[in-house]
Amino acid sequence: MLKHVSFLTADLDAVLAFYVRLGGVTEKNLTTPEGYLRGVVRLGGEEGGRLQFFQIPGESPHPHAHWAEHIALHVTGLRALLPQLRAAGVTVSRDLTPSPGGRDMAFVLDPDGRQVELLEAGPG
CATH number at residue 113: 3.10.180.10
pLDDT over 70 at 8, yes or no: yes
pLDDT confidence of residue 124: 46
Quote the number of domains for the chain.
2
C-alpha closest to that of 39 among 57, 53, 19 = 53
d(CA 17, CA 52) in angstroms, rounded, equals: 13
d(CA 7, CA 24) in angstroms, rounded, equals: 16
- Show the domain range for 36: 4-55
Same domain? 14 vs 49: yes
- Does some domain include residue 64? no
Q: Which helix (H) or strand (E) holds 14?
A: helix 12-21
Kindly report, residue by residue over 84-105, the tens digit of the pLDDT: 999 999 999 999 999 888 999 9
Interior/surface letters 9-20, b for 16+ CB within 10 angstroms, e for the rest = bbebeebbebbe
